[in-house]
Amino acid sequence: MSIELGPEYGGTGSSFFSTILVVEELAKVDPAVALLCELQNTITNKLFITYGTEEQKRTYLPRLAKDLTGSFCLSEVGSGSDAFSLKTRADKKEDCYVINGSKMWISFAEQAGVFFVMANANPSLGYKGITCFIVDHGTEGLHVGKKEDKLGIRSTSTCPVTFENVKVPKTNILGQLGEGYKYAIGVLNVGRIGIAAQMLGLAQGCFDHTIPYVKERVQFGKNIFEFQGMQHQIAQVATQLEAARLLTYNAARLVEAGRPFRKEASMAKYYAAEVAALTTSKCIEWMGGVGFTKDYPIEKYYRDCKIGSIYEGTSNIQLSTIAKCIGQEY
């Protein structure tokens, strides 16, 4: 919950790379638990650490290290990949702002104690009017809707959130007025490395459950791992897993070194999501009939991995980002 937070806030004072390793390891067992760790560390804590005032840090960070979770409210019905076309508004009223609008696909909305709400405080400026507001759970006018019935990562809550005349004091603006779009881009670029780690761990966990079964399952007088056709498939998947790991670790290394990492983050997320989809699909095939049942965890990994090509930037968005970065390099 607080891997990178300093000890003064109740954290461990560890590194971003440590966060990536923790997310990867958790995802080997349960990608949903890994998602909580990933979002808390790469988005919620990161926003407060990077842009929060000292008062905001003292108010929220010690609790985020113990018993408080955050929720990032950006996506809307009409603004998914085109995130900055959002319609949620924040109108200035004397000493506060009044937020009206609705958000969709908000992770951990049911459990969140604090929400980061992206709302436009000056629509005449377009996306440059987008501002990040800190809204506490229980604030009058904030309503969390019904949990979505999802294909995968089902233990996480994903809900719509609506804001009806929600009053937020000026002191609850995170960072600067009109800078919210920059903050969103910044944390999502970092968060993509976290999602890459989640997909990597998921795929490795699925692989680790499958190979022992393949070595035990006997057909035609020998275990099926001994068939060359199986060995070649397994070797190919293992190689792709290692390539995804190196892409993810390299992107994390660049973050820690303070070097540009946007292209590498998109590469890591895109490729790790692709590898997770391939790995889990192949593992079901290698397991045969039992892989298709809920008696083994393989089908859950298969369902959980699909979100990797959708959230925190779809695979097509990652490819567009990679191409844009390459165009700027030449």
For 236, the token pair is 């190919």
CB 280 within 8 A of CB 203: yes
SS3 annotation, 26-39: HHHHCHHHHHHHHH
CB 99 within 8 A of CB 117: yes
For 110, the token pair is 């049911």
CB 247 within 8 A of CB 264: yes
CA 174 to CA 320: how far, in whole Å?
29
3-state secondary structure of 89: strand
3-state secondary structure of 67: coil
Q: What's the one-letter identity of residue 10?
A: G
CA 227 to CA 86: how far, in whole Å?
54
219 - beta bridge partners? Answer: 222
- CB-CB neighbours of 21 under 10 Å: 18
CB 301 within 8 A of CB 205: yes
Question: Which one from 8, 38, 312, 329 is the annotated catalytic residue?
Answer: 312
Element spanning 116, H or E:
strand 114-120
Catalytic status, residue 312: yes
CA 323 to CA 327: how far, in whole Å?
6
CA 325 to CA 330: how far, in whole Å?
9
- Active site members: 312
